[in-house]
Structure 1
Amino acid sequence: MADPAGQENRWLILAAVLAGTVMGPLDASIVYIALPVIGEVFHALPSSVGWVSMSYLLIMGSFLLPFGRLGDIFGFKRIYLAGLFIFIAASALCGLAPNLIALIVLRAFQAVGAGLSMSLAPSIITAVFPQKERGRALGISAMVVALGLAAGPVLGGLLVDSVGWRTIFFVNVPIGIIAFLWSYKLIPKNGEKVKAYFDWKGSVLAFGALSAILFFASEGESYHWSALILIIGAAAVVLFLLFIRLESSIPEPMLDLSLFKSRVFSAGNGAALLNFMTQYIIVFLCPFFLQRVLGYSASRAGLTMAAFPLTVLFIAPISGALSDRLGQRWLFFFGSLLCTLSAGSMFTLSQNSTPFDISLRLAVFGLGTGLFQSPNTSAVMGSVPKNRLGIAGGVLSTTRNIGMVFGIALGGAVLNARQAFYQESAFDLAFLYGIKDAFFAALLVSALATVISVFCTQKSRQET
């Protein structure tokens, strides 16, 4: 039932919530275009500067599920506003970061704020809208998130070129303050709080395991695969096993492992993980290719890269409708296949490539991604009973976040290793060919996602 206290102002509340939550996806995408410049300022390798994004996504992947529980325990409004406050403060401090380590740590705090606000936005919208308007409101919310992702590269490029890279963080502050004051005034307090279990042990173990495996993968080459790196790799395995053991033994786990007994649920999440890995290898490395190989300005690179999110934004709603009419299987498979072909075409780019060459490849990748995502979501959510939909949605969101982080780590690791190999061979275009080899890795990852997508169909559990 909708909250009577908020129902009268529900559309204003929606606008206030969206003003706050749009900063999360906007900030996630705006940073990529600035990474080459940040790397030059702090004299960092791409694999190291990638931690500016990975620390953000790592927190989201580790804590997004339990963040939602905090709203049940302490109240949606209180936790949502706390998230906005943390995000605003961390954004201001990111803009003042004196070195790369400080920026990486502050980005993690930024992710805490974004995670708290983003995880509770659907709950607030659901609470204030009646059922007949709820789907429309949530659809507008999804569209605004997609617009934030699409606007990030263009806005980021313009800010980096005209004012400097630090402004990509400062821009959040005035928007955040307006959203905070607006939300404080309009959002009603939710009713009676409930006693909900917060799986902090599982969250910490997941964070530790993911951090260790990412450091092992992305920095191993830089540390020459020393004893320290091997110890960190072993620690990742131990922490992962402890996480699985814990989640199997508690009544309300962060990750409900029983869901993975469904072949479709497992395959759907596996395909999503690999698809988002492919996406973020390309999204992470494209700015380096455009700015360091082709010599583009940040704003020109941002405009070129906008072809990908804009195509996804246009295709995703059409894909959802086609999925309902034609079924998931072939749309799912064809979307993943297009992503694979596009990733393969990225491997053919050279120092003579034109903006059209790159935009066309990114648009095809966006077409494949848009066709893939709606049937993927439908297959995963349709494989679980209705009373497990909330948990299944949280698992899928977490899987996608982890795929993003792994994609950046893999892209940076392959670039580092292959660039070093080509430099030892006295090859003039070592950086270019390192990126090309990373794009080839994206091709292999996407091909595996395409194979797995074949196993992602069965009759919906909600229809039986």
Structure 2
Amino acid sequence: MDENAGPAEGGHPRRWWILIAICASLLIVVVDNTVLSVALPAIAEAFEAGTATLQAVVDAYVVVFAGLLVAAGVAADRFGRRRMLLCGLVVFAVASTVAGLAGTAAVLIAARAMMGIGAALVMPATLAILVQIFPERERPRAFAAWAAVAAVAMAGGPVLGGLLVELWSWAGVFWINVPLALAAVAVVAVLTPESHDPDARHLDVASAVLITLGMSGLVLTVLVLGEGSLPALALGAGLVAVSGLGWFARRQLRSPDPMVEFTLYRDPRFAGGSAAAAVLTLGTGSALFVLTQYLQLVRGQSALVAGAALAPLAAGVVVGSTAGGRAPDRIGLRVCIIAGFAGVTTGFALLAFLGPTSTYLHVGAGLALLGLGAGFSSPAVTSVVLGAVPRHRAGMGSALHDTHQQLGIALGVATIGAVLSAVYRSELHVHTGIDDGSLALTLLRGDPEITRAGVDAFLTAQSTTMFIAAGCAAVGAVIAALTLANSRNASPIDVPSA
């Protein structure tokens, strides 16, 4: 394939079959963002883990994933997108095996971090391949399918996780990855052509380490501060975050061949779309972390029932993504993004009023609005952001797009989780005088009076986090309204070098 010329006007002859192979790979990686959510109470019980440990189990995957995405995008452009995709799937399968065998929380966290490495190799390669094989006019449809699979995987993860926990144990959410990843390797190897950028950037390993350390330090700072203890650790993590991210930026700005072209952020499409997506995922990324605990610990549902209860989110995503793939041609990209974000805002606001006896209609309506809004806006956001990236830099552009979202998820879980824990502890102390910060995972199973106080405290904390998430989505809509033109397509541009 001639990289510089891009795909032929009609696209690659097997492009729709390749799309299926790409989506199969994407499904495995994305589902792991949420499949773990309904297994958290079981993991807490198995390892006697508190809230901070559970957040670390969730964020170890997301932080490493986000930190290595840019380097993985460069590697995909330089060494081949198909090759990196296959390597990532193999690493993911091996790491999942280690996680399934984990005997301590520390091993589980390390395995999750290793899974993040595999996911980072997979994700940018998927979008970069789509950019190469689809002509511009068909990309919104391809992106819509990609976004629908990603969103359904994220929303359907709890359903699958609940089934696996019920039938197996918490380890089942990891063992299932092994045969699926190996099957994806076979499909991708047969169908997907190799492509690369002959002028790809040099792979800067030091910068990859610096950005991963910086992001890890940032998330760890939030986690420790949320626990209200170990100020020295929080200070140290904060210093690592500032120095790592600062040194990374300095290296990129001074390098004649940077991994990240900061000039991309001069384009309002790239900067505005990226900022809007990051702010949105700051709220949506933490929603399942909170809601699965509400369903299991407040409503007393099993892991399977709680996972199934989240089905309206997946259904909303499917419908929203289908409509969102066609809507830009009719109403423009900016309107699609604003409308989708408004739906997410409304969904979070509705979920903020959940109580211990709320009907399932209340729960389902809020989840459906979240899914519809996120699904409707996602194809437009992806088209806007990648439309601002030169085609031969597709790997880097898709990696940056994914990095913004994954960092938003990681910070969302850390920040919203910290708020949830802090408000819970405060409310519980007011009503019972108890200072234990282990949240509902232990206190809702204790004395009846403490249980009632714990439920009230948890609901207050949950309401606070849902309103914060709604505010994040609203801010994303405002950013899109102020920075994006209402174009009906997004064409790649050549961004001058710094």
Q: Give the TM-score taking structure 1 as reference length.
A: 0.88
* Match of residue 485 from structure 2: 458
Matched, 1:266 2:271: yes
Select 2:403's aligned residue among 386, 398, 403: 398
* Match of residue 439 from structure 1: 466
Q: Distance in 2 between matches of 1:329 and 1:12?
A: 30
Cα displacement (A) at 1:360 = 0.8
Amino acid at match of 1:442: A
CA contact (8 A) 2:389 2:492 kept: no
Matches within 5 A, 1:364-375: 364-375=369-380
Cα displacement (A) at 1:227 = 2.2
How big is each residue's C-alpha offset from its partner over 1:20-41, in whole Å with a ceiling of 9 and x where there is no partner? 4421122222112212321232
Q: Distance in 2 between matches of 1:16 and 1:389?
A: 19
Select 1:255's aligned residue among 260, 267, 271: 260
Matches within 5 A, 1:45-444: 45-123=50-128, 135=139, 141-184=146-189, 196-222=201-227, 224=229, 226-382=231-387, 391-427=396-432, 428=453, 429-444=456-471
Q: Distance in 2 between matches of 1:158 and 1:420?
A: 31
Amino acid at match of 2:334: R
Amino acid at match of 1:458: A
What SS is found at the alignment partner of 2:301?
Answer: coil
Cα displacement (A) at 1:157 = 0.9
Q: Distance in 2 between matches of 1:139 and 1:342?
A: 21
How big is each residue's C-alpha offset from its partner over 1:127-163, in whole Å with a ceiling of 9 and x where there is no partner? 7x58599857776555444443343221111111122
Cα displacement (A) at 1:231 = 2.6
Amino acid at match of 2:360: P
Cα distance 1:264–1:356, how it changes in 2: closer, same or farther (>3 A)? same
CA contact (8 A) 1:56 1:107 kept: yes
Cα displacement (A) at 1:122 = 4.5
What SS is found at the alignment partner of 2:355?
Answer: coil
Q: Distance in 2 between matches of 1:100 and 1:274?
A: 30
Q: Distance in 1 between matches of 2:370 and 2:418?
A: 22
Select 1:26's aligned residue among 27, 31, 53: 31
CA contact (8 A) 1:47 1:416 kept: no
Bigger shift: 114-123 or 138-147?
138-147
Cα displacement (A) at 1:124 = 5.3
Q: Distance in 2 between matches of 1:378 and 1:125?
A: 12
What SS is found at the alignment partner of 2:254?
Answer: coil
How big is each residue's C-alpha offset from its partner over 1:78-100, in whole Å with a ceiling of 9 and x where there is no partner? 43332222111111111111122
Cα distance 1:435–1:225, how it changes in 2: closer, same or farther (>3 A)? farther
Cα distance 1:247–1:320, how it changes in 2: closer, same or farther (>3 A)? same
How big is each residue's C-alpha offset from its partner over 1:274-316, in whole Å with a ceiling of 9 and x where there is no partner? 1011101212211011111111111111111121132112112
Identity %: 30
Amino acid at match of 1:59: V
Bigger shift: 199-208 or 445-454?
445-454
CA contact (8 A) 1:94 1:169 kept: yes
Cα displacement (A) at 1:212 = 0.8
Amino acid at match of 1:449: G
Q: Give the TM-score taking structure 2 as reference length.
A: 0.82
Cα distance 1:332–1:9, how it changes in 2: closer, same or farther (>3 A)? closer
Amino acid at match of 2:224: E
Cα displacement (A) at 1:358 = 0.8
Q: Distance in 1 between matches of 2:87 and 2:396?
A: 24
Cα distance 1:436–1:40, how it changes in 2: closer, same or farther (>3 A)? farther
Cα distance 1:393–1:455, how it changes in 2: closer, same or farther (>3 A)? farther
* Match of residue 437 from structure 2: none
CA contact (8 A) 1:26 1:151 kept: yes
How big is each residue's C-alpha offset from its partner over 1:227-284, in whole Å with a ceiling of 9 and x where there is no partner? 2212322332222222221221113333322122234432322211110111012122
CA contact (8 A) 2:64 2:216 kept: no
What SS is found at the alignment partner of 1:255?
Answer: coil
Q: Distance in 2 between matches of 1:306 and 1:112?
A: 29
Amino acid at match of 1:219: V
Q: Distance in 2 between matches of 1:409 and 1:191?
A: 36
Q: Distance in 2 between matches of 1:216 and 1:236?
A: 8
Q: Distance in 1 between matches of 2:361 and 2:283?
A: 21
Amino acid at match of 2:472: V
CA contact (8 A) 2:76 2:196 kept: no
Cα displacement (A) at 1:418 = 1.1
CA contact (8 A) 1:68 1:119 kept: yes
Q: Distance in 2 between matches of 1:77 and 1:420?
A: 48
Cα displacement (A) at 1:126 = 6.6
CA contact (8 A) 1:75 1:193 kept: no
Q: Distance in 2 between matches of 1:323 and 1:147?
A: 21
CA contact (8 A) 2:215 2:241 kept: yes
Bigger shift: 330-339 or 83-92?
330-339
Q: Distance in 1 between matches of 2:67 and 2:113?
A: 11
Q: Distance in 2 between matches of 1:233 and 1:26?
A: 30
Amino acid at match of 2:170: W
Cα distance 1:263–1:82, how it changes in 2: closer, same or farther (>3 A)? closer
- CA RMSD in angstroms, aligned pairs only: 3.2
Q: Give aligned pairs, total.
A: 461
Amino acid at match of 1:455: L
Amino acid at match of 2:207: G
CA contact (8 A) 2:91 2:115 kept: yes
CA contact (8 A) 2:128 2:394 kept: no
Bigger shift: 112-121 or 284-293?
112-121
Amino acid at match of 2:466: F
* Match of residue 436 from structure 2: none
Amino acid at match of 1:453: A
Bigger shift: 47-56 or 401-410?
47-56
Matches within 5 A, 1:32-43: 32-43=37-48
Q: Distance in 1 between matches of 2:393 and 2:248?
A: 21
CA contact (8 A) 2:333 2:486 kept: no
